Amino acid sequence: MPSALLPASAIPPPHEAHLLARYRHIRAATETLAADLSDADATVQSMEDASPAKWHLAHTAWFFEEFVLAARLPGYAPYDERFRYLFNSYYEAVGARHPRPRRGLLTRPTLDEVLAYREAVDDAMTALLATAQTDAEAALIELGLHHEQQHQELLLTDILHLFAQNPLRPAYAHELAAAVVADPRPAPEWIAFEGGVASIGHAGDDFAFDCEGPRHSVLLVPYQLCSHPVSNQQWCEFIDDGGYQSAGLWLSDGWRWVGEQDVQAPLYWEERDGAWWQMSLRGMHPVDPDSPVTHISFYEAEAFARWAGRRLPTEAEWEHAAQKLPATGNFAESHALRPLPDRQNTSGVLRQMFGDVWEWTGSAYLPYPGFRPQAGAVGEYNGKFMSGQMVLRGGSCVTPESHIRASYRNFFYPHQRWQFTGLRLADDL
């Protein structure tokens, strides 16, 4: 820890120094993501599922103020008592909150005022982190940092949805990181797994959300996974074969959703002169046939799998296949900001299991055997949402790499697709 940042008497011991360094790194990363946004960019809310960038910036400061500073520092005075109402998300135990669908009406506080709020919280947290933390306190701060990384991803996906509503199709970022792509591109293969009794769920002392445990045994029948996620080219074949017009491919709820929303392609796809184009964080560009398809709902993923004569993997199958693989890939740190083709011509192994796109599974988001939510308000973090949602695995091109592990369980409602969601096919052996 550079001594220039703190007076000698305040230099924290090694454990606290690591936590302080992580805190500063992650908090700065959030503000970097918003650095080029105007106050208008950061204020507008494009739909109820999305939140303004300004709200993400404020809410993540609110989390540390509400759950760490107020609890640890006797007599701590909130930066602005009104923010407790404005920037609470869904914590019933904390109290009343501003309605989510109306977050885009918060023209005040301004973006600059929100950044000043973050700075004040950071100053208080820096002083706190210079002191010793109990294991429970350190765990709560670590939860806050992973919570912030979730909002970094949401900030980007929400900005993409917002910019996609603008006829100018503005780009969030223009420069595309150079990508080395295998040539010829590797063809998809089927990778077999014997099945049997397997263990899934988080184990060990590293951070995990409560819903990732307890670790437990599952019985898997022999199965196989495709080596690659489904590509844009494969999705074009689905479209050309009338996939969106064939009721027999769809779940009843999915078919009703297709009709009510007039769905004819993945979200952000537009047909121009007989060719498909796609809106991304880098603006409009032709659909890359070799990149993983993204911005599809669970309904679309399930219909595609049925059209292909396959199925979606269960989350147990996905984790069993992934848990010995390195959690590396095209994450936010690559700065590509969109899914990319496979970069290696490697056969006989699973590719792109991590990064690029969140992969829908066929599993409902439910508690593992023995799951108990934490006591208090933070116990509302995951457990209260275990109804009506489906599990996704693996992270995406806008997920921070240090945020992902094989046991990570993401979850969304079946119709939602503004996140970077894709699929990988599975089948029985």
Amino acid at 298: F
Domain map (residue ranges) of the chain: 3-164, 190-428
- Mention every residue, 6+ apart, whose C-beta is less than 8 A from residue 240: none
CA–CA gap between residue 143 and residue 208 (Å, rounded): 8
Give Cα 418 distance to the centre of its chain: 11
Grade residue 379 by pLDDT with cuts at 50, 70 and 90: confident
At the topology level of CATH, where does 190-428 sit?
paralog of FGE (formylglycine-generating enzyme) (3.90.1580)
Task: Report residue 343 as tokens.
Answer: 């970069």
pTM summary value: 0.94
Q: Are 225 and 191 in contact (CB under 8 A)?
A: yes
Q: Please state the rounded mean pLDDT for residues 340-344.
A: 87
Q: Which residues pair with 426 in a beta bridge?
A: 225, 311
Q: pLDDT of 397-419, one tens digit each?
A: 999 999 999 999 999 999 999 99
Q: pLDDT of 48-97, one tens digit each?
A: 999 999 999 999 999 999 999 999 998 899 999 999 999 999 898 899 99
Instruction: Please name the helix (run of DSSP H) or strand (run of DSSP E) that holds residue 238, with its range, or none.
Output: helix 232-240
CATH class of 3-164: mainly alpha
CA–CA gap between residue 123 and residue 6 (Å, rounded): 11
Task: State yes or no: cis peptide before 184, omega within 30 of 0.
Answer: yes
pLDDT value, residue 14? 58
